[in-house]
Structure 1
Amino acid sequence: MKILLTGESGQLARELLLELAGDAELVALGRSGMDLAQPSRIRQTVRRLRPDLIINSAAYTAVDQAEHEQAKAFAINGTAPGVLAEEADRLGAPLLHFSTDYVFDGKKAEPYTELDAPQPLSVYGASKLAGEQAIQAIGGQHLILRTSWVYSRHGRNFLLTMQRLLQERRSLDVVNDEHGAPTWAGHLAQATAALVRRWLNDGRFPTGLYHLTASGETSWYGFAQAIATHLHAQGRLRATLSPIASRNYPTPANRPANSRLSCLRLERDWGVRLPNWEAGLSECLANASAIDAGALAISRSA
């Protein structure tokens, strides 16, 4: 069984490589192996490799920069998933794709369900929604997992930025009126691998659109406080944190005030539920074994 994984160096792909090692032949590709901004390259690569499953964990994730690079964001987040879906359907292979809470406008008082109508506030959110719609329009076997606030010990994310700033600065202001569920890429990969293994074992692929985030909720300020607590325990905390309103921290892209996603449907249908976000953060920080070159050797770049 051959699995094609996109976004080879991304934080989620790195965790998926560890989780799926030994379950199938993994072919992990980055931009040099398959540039998602070039549909022809996507088609050529998929047709050459002929995978049994495609996992698209790659994305254009520079939320603010996307406001100035709309064409690039839509090419990678909107057009490429549709091309992957077409090629997967041509092979009779399922496609597993990751999307985002940013497809919603955040105005709902309760957590969003899969039945709520998307209304993105940003180019990034609109491009991710376009990718979802492109996949659904093909009609092949697919699983779209919307998640939120993903972080890990690798790449560029809120955890690593806060760890650096909390040790460099004397004071730090963090937005306190945007709420969601910080989701460790390790737990996200574990749940994804469980769904893939079910398909490998009994041939039943969990087709559809589902939400998958950590349990619980917090604000960006609450997330930063939890990170600061871990640093303080290690004697590495320097900065004092202060909460601020999002209107006092303007950014090029608008962000939803409510990024909470209800994950009850996935738990009901497939028995998958992630631990609380605080447990995820503790496990992430306690896991000192970063992916090294030896671990990445399980991938085969084509």
Structure 2
Amino acid sequence: MAEENCTKVTQFTFSGLTEHPQLKLILFVLFLGTYVLTLMGNLVLIILIRVSPQLHTPMYFFLGNLSFLDICYSSTISPKMLLDLPTESRAISFAGCLTQFYFYAVFATAEIYLLAAMAYDRYVAISKPLLYQTVMSFRVCMSLVAASYLAGLFNAIVHTSALLRLSFCRLLVINNFFCDGPPLFVVSSTDTYLNKGLMFVFVGFNMMATNLLILISYACIVVAVGRTGSAAGRRKAFSTCSSHLAAILIFYVSASFNYMQPSSSNSLEGKKIASVFYTTIVPMLNPMIYSLRNEEVKHSLGIFIKRKMYF
């Protein structure tokens, strides 16, 4: 009988971010503005990289792909969250929940691998400047980006397939604002040991592997910068890397807090706050971080604006 009831489950309900009507309105305006800025900032960066010949380098090729991922990543979560904030009904179908989780896993995983590829790119640019164009050829850049997406697809397929084995017979309120693994494990009526194990192993491996590559890359960068006699060279290297390090720090700290802790109903509130940062705030901050601290981007933006004003 229980199994029969489980098969009738066709939708979930999100608990959302708050139940206070006034706070809902404030959050709606805040996150709508955040989403609009995310779309505008990343689209402008993609267009700027596309039309500016001086930005046709491996570094900006990766940055353009990061902006594309941020648009996709944010659009997987934010529209549904914005639709749910003003309403009392925050339902999502079972198929819709799995679809949202799948694309969220694809883009989130691809992003951390792309950030690692960008760290390697900075290492080559600073440590081997004369060989930079040869080592970071278009083929190599395309391979690194393709590998990032393949890692995302593989990770998403594994976790989404594992979710299909779960039954949901009770407490169909998901304590979150989007479909994610840990909140779904809490409401499942079947054993989630396998799912939690896969989450721990795969998320742990993905974060450790990318973190290791990033740490090794920046350790080599520090050594290379230390050998540079020019103070101007050191400042340029620091300026180039600081934006990337800021983006990594924000993303990894919030994501690690969310996934590298045991799933329990008591810890979900803290994880929900962490989720806000890396699903809505980080995609908005990335184009700002890279553009405001990058002279080449600001120079290209100035030329682009002057051209548009002239025509």
Q: TM-score if structure 2 supplies the norm length? A: 0.24
Q: Larger helix proportion, structure 1 or 2?
A: 2
Q: Which has the higher strand share?
A: 1
State which structure, 1 or 2, has the greater radius of gyration over its C-alpha atoms: 2
Could you tell me the TM-score, scaled by structure 1's length? 0.25
